[in-house]
Chain A
């Protein structure tokens, strides 16, 4: 048997068959055996997805090992050692904390420490996005055409509508923004959704006929 058959052709065929089952069940024959097959495949998907996360975690640990082993200079090695040490330390410490409590990750101590460390850092880094946006708006929003005038005007008007002090003195801003949401935004959003839906359908059909290159690498070994 040619290598290409079991390395590429069968997986591509599997994609087409599985996608086909879902499509046929949805559009054409909603019969019980087909529905049962679909449910079974969905259950497989949930499990495979979970196994994929375990795979990712193993790869993450391998990544730390590889990066550490490849670190060249002393300074870089020290830094990598520190980073990997904190990562593995955090993993083990919180892992043991969960294991030490019958409620594992729902335990009181785990929750308290998790909120203090993990949530707080997530909040801190999550608050780093605004300078990028503010910078983009400040530096890039230059009104030079009708399009840029439109986006800049809507941007400012929307901001003002969400400033309570402004709406208290200029309540007329509220219906203006409500109109923007209901008319131009709704129209553009509908077009955007229809457009991307068509693109997605075309990709789906290409997958069905095995002509979608984004689904699989070409390499045969």
Chain B
């Protein structure tokens, strides 16, 4: 490794420590330094990414004659109207983007979040997967957990009992996803510690 590379490894490790120090020392001057440097540098990176993106999605097509895209840039720039007394004009880009969002979501949501899920439940039943009892349990779990997500009736009496069964399925699911999420974050810490302990030493030739 060149001296410059070694220096970068040590600087990088110090910067990581600035971030990790937050757990014990909260808002220290080191944390603030790392934080603001990150935000500033990453904003510069994004500026170039956005510019590159606009070049290919707007400037190049516009110069090739697709002039309607100029309108999108002008309407998008109306967001800056929030800084003026004509702040209502910023509602136009918001309206167009919301319209796209709502429209795009509609069909895809019905397909991927409703039809695919119903189809999955039925597939388990038809193909008797993973086994007959489990397939029936999946059906019961899906139905009762769905009852939990109703809001016009209080969850009491017999209705409440059905909800309680659904909640058990939800609890099992949340336990699983919480554990896997925890493991992911634990691995993040382990990676960091491994980098912090081994990389600087490796850069000066200490390996074990």
Contact = CB atoms under 8 A, between A and B. Distances in A.
Contacts of A173: none
Contact of B182 (A50, A125, A159, A198): A159
Interface residues of A, number: 123
A159 B18 contact: no
B41 interface: yes
A169 interface: no
B38 A118 contact: yes
Given A23-B107, A123-B191, A182-B134, A215 B98 contact: yes
Given A128-B22, A187-B138, A154 B57 contact: no
A122 interface: yes
Interface string B66-108: 0011011101110110010101100111111111101111110
A105 B52 CA distance: 10
A123 B32 CA distance: 15
Contacts of B197: none
B179 interface: yes
Interface in A177-221: 177, 179-198, 200-201, 203-204, 207-208, 215-217, 219-221
Contacts of A50: 50, 53-54, 57-58, 76
Interface of A: 6-8, 11-12, 14-23, 26-27, 40-55, 57-58, 60, 62, 79, 82-84, 86-95, 98, 104-105, 112-131, 133-134, 137, 146-148, 150-156, 158-159, 162, 177, 179-198, 200-201, 203-204, 207-208, 215-217, 219-221
Given A194-B146, A201-B109, 4 more contacts: A89-B37, A123-B191, A179-B130, A184-B172
30 contacts: A6-B88, A8-B88, A14-B92, A19-B98, A19-B103, A20-B103, A41-B100, A42-B104, A51-B76, A82-B29, A86-B32, A95-B47, A116-B8, A117-B11, A117-B37, A120-B13, A121-B16, A123-B188, A123-B195, A124-B21, A125-B38, A126-B19, A150-B175, A188-B141, A190-B117, A191-B142, A192-B149, A192-B170, A195-B149, A200-B109
